[in-house]
Structure 1
Amino acid sequence: MNYTSIQLLSMWLKEREIQNQSKHTLQAYQRDVSDFLNFCEIKKLSLNNIESTDLREFLAQKVERHQLSSSSLQRLLSSIRQFMKWAEQGQYLAFNPADDFQLKRFPRPLPGMVDIETINQILDQAKPESEVQQQMWLRDKAILELLYSSGLRLAEIQGLCIRDIDFNRQLLRITGKGNKTRVVPFGSKAKDAVMQWLKIYPLWNGDFVPEANVFITQKGNPLGARQIENRVKFQAQRAGVNIDLHPHLLRHCFASHMLSNSGDLRAVQEMLGHTNLTTTQIYTHVDFDHLAKVYDQAHPRAHKS
C-alpha cells in the first residue's frame, strides 16, 4: 500500500506517542517535519526523490527567513533525520538522504542559548528498551532535571545527599562554593524524576541513609564528576540533539529562562548562589516563600502538564 507523506508522518507520530513522548516534543516533531514536507510538496518532490541538496536548500531557507539559531537548526535536522530513518526502516523509503547529512559546524553559542524546546526534547525523550539502560536513564533523567530545575553546579549535584532533599516543600539544601549553604526550590517534574530514580536506588546497592549520595554507580559508589558530565552528553546525543551539553550549560539555561520569564534578578541570584551574604544572613533575610512563588510562576518545568 502506498502512503502519502502526511500519512507517514501521522503514523510516525502515533508510534512516538505510544513510546510516551511528551506533548511538547510531539508538537515540535510535527511542526519540524511538516515544514519540510510542505517544502517538498512545493518543489514536487516525493520522499524517495529527496537528495541531500534538497535538505541543504530547505535548511538554508529556514536560516534566511527565520534567523534560526544553530541549536534550533540542529533540532530541526534531528526531527527530519529521525522521521526519515523510521521511514527507511519501515521500507517506506528506499534511501535516507538525511542519514549522513551534516550541517556545517557553527561557532559555539554563548552559554544559556539552548532554547526551551530543545531542553524539553532531551528531558522528555522515550526511555530505552533494555532494563539496565532504563534504570540508567531514570538516574540520568533525575540528574538532568535537577540541573535544569534548580541551576546546580556540577560539584553540587555530585555532592547532593539524601538528607538535602525536602520532598514535601520541594526544596534542596545545597552546599556551594566556599562551603556556603543555600536553599533552592525544585519543580514537580524534577521531584517525580528523583522519586522514580530512588525506587531503583536499592537495586544498585545504594545505602539509603541521610548522608548517602543521591547519585551512584551500579556498584553503589558515588558518581564522579566526569561520569556525570559524560552521562549528560550521552543523553543529549540519544535525544538526537547535536549540542555539546554539559552541566554548566544547563545551569546557564536555568538562569536565562528564569530571568527572561520572571525579571526577578534578585531571586535568580539567590537560587544560583551568586551572593556575598553569609549562610546566616541567607537564612535570616531571604524570603523562601517568595523564591518558591517566583519559581513556580516562572520555571517552564515547575508544574505537571
Structure 2
Amino acid sequence: MPLADFATHLSSEKRHSPRTCEHYLRDLHRFCAWLTSVDIDQWAAVTSHDVRRYVANLSKEGLGGRSIARHLSSIRRFYQFLLREGLAKDNPALDIRAPKSGRRLPKVADVDQLNRLLEVNPDDPLEVRDLAMFELMYSSGLRLSELAGLNLGALDLAGGEVKVLGKGSKERVLPVGAKAAAAVRRWLKCRAEFVAGSEPAMFVSQRGGRLSQRSIQARLARWGRLQGADQRMHPHMLRHSFASHMLESSGDLRAVQELLGHADIATTQVYTHLDFQHLARVYDQSHPRARRRSGASTPDSAGSDSASQ
C-alpha cells in the first residue's frame, strides 16, 4: 500500500501537519483514479508522457496553472518516496511544468458604487474614523500597510498632501482630495476620545492603540455590507479602483505608476487592461457600426464568415 506508507512518511518522518498530508493524498488519489481510467495499474509503469497527459486532463477539467503545479508537486514528492523505497526507477513528473496561469485582473468598484459607499453620514466616532480611512485610501491609492502605518505628522491637510512609506521603505508624497481631507478633519475631532498619551498613529482602535491591518479589513467588509455593496469590499479593491479610475480619466500611465509607488511600470500596466475593457463596453454600446440588430444579418458579417473559412 504505497499511498498509506507515503502518508505515514509525511506525518512521522517529515512532520507535516494533518492538513498538509490530507492535501497530498487527495491529489494522489485523483491521480490514481485517472491512471485506472487509462488502464495503468502500476506506479512504476507511469511515464513522463502519462504525466503530461494527466496535466492536459486537469487543464481540460478547468484547473488553473497554480492548482496543476500543486498536483505535480504532490506527484513528484510521492515518486521521491517510491524511489527511496525501491518501488520505482525514475520520477516521471520531475521535468514536467504546469501551464502558466493568465494574470488575474484586480477587481474594482465602479464610480457610482464607491459614491454610494462613501456618501454616508457616520453614526458614531468609530464610523467617522472608518469613513476617513476609506476616503483617504480611495483618494490617494494607499496600500493597506501604508494606511495602517500613517502617523499624525504625515498629513498636511491644508496643503492637501499625505506622506507615506511604501515598499522598500520608499517615501512618496500623494495628493489628498477635498472629500478625504474633510473626512479626516472630522475624525481628528473624535480621535482624542480614544487616545491617551503620545500615540502617533493617525487611526487608532477603541483602546487607543494603532489600528491593525486585520481590523481595517474587517471594518471595510462590515461597511460594505451595511451600505449594500454588491461585492465584498476589501482595501486592495479601493486601491485598484483608484488606479483604474485615474487611468480611465487621464490615460497617463506614468503618473499612475508614480502615485501607486510601483517600481516597474509593467506592474501598473495591468490597469490598462481594465481600462480597455471599459472602453470596449462603451464602444459596443455607442458606436453605430458596433451594435447588431437582433434577427438581422449584414453583408459585413456574411463576408467575415466566408473569409474565415
Give the structure-2-normalised TM-score.
Answer: 0.50
**Consecutive unaligned residues in structure 2, runs of 5 or more:** 1-103, 266-309
Q: Root-mean-square deviation (CA), in Å?
A: 1.8
Which of 173, 177, 180 is 1:190 aligned to? 180
Question: 3-state SS of the aligned residue for 1:141?
Answer: helix
Offset, 1:265: 1.0
Q: What does residue range 257-296 of structure 1 map to in structure 2 within 5 Å?
A: 257-275=245-263
Q: Write out the 4+ residue segments of structure 1 that deviate beyond 3 Å after TM superposition.
A: 206-209
Offset, 1:262: 0.7
Amino acid corresponding to residue 167 of structure 2 in structure 1: K
Higher relative contact order (CA 8 A, sep 6+): 1
Offset, 1:125: 2.5
- Distance in 1 separating the partners of 2:177 and 2:243: 15
1:112 and 1:250 in contact (8 A); partners too: no
Question: 3-state SS of the aligned residue for 1:182?
Answer: strand
Distance 1:261 1:213, change over 3 A: same
**Consecutive unaligned residues in structure 1, runs of 5 or more:** 1-108, 129-133, 278-305
Which of 87, 110, 122 is 2:117 aligned to? 122
Q: What does residue range 6-17 of structure 1 map to in structure 2 within 5 Å?
A: none
Distance 1:206 1:167, change over 3 A: farther
- Aligned match of 2:230: 242
- Distance in 2 separating the partners of 1:233 and 1:153: 16
Offset, 1:110: 4.2
Offset, 1:217: 0.6
Offset, 1:146: 0.8
Offset, 1:126: 3.7
- Distance in 2 separating the partners of 1:125 and 1:190: 13
Question: 3-state SS of the aligned residue for 1:251?
Answer: helix
Tell me the alpha carbon deviations over residues 255-276 of structure 1, each in whole angstroms, 9 at most, x when there is no partner: 0000000111111111100136
Question: 3-state SS of the aligned residue for 1:203?
Answer: coil
1:140 and 1:232 in contact (8 A); partners too: yes
Aligned residues: 162
Give the structure-1-normalised TM-score.
Answer: 0.51
Which of 131, 134, 145 is 2:135 aligned to? 145
- Distance in 2 separating the partners of 1:182 and 1:110: 25
- Distance in 2 separating the partners of 1:196 and 1:255: 26
Offset, 1:208: 6.0
2:195 and 2:204 in contact (8 A); partners too: no
Provide the identity percentage.
Answer: 42
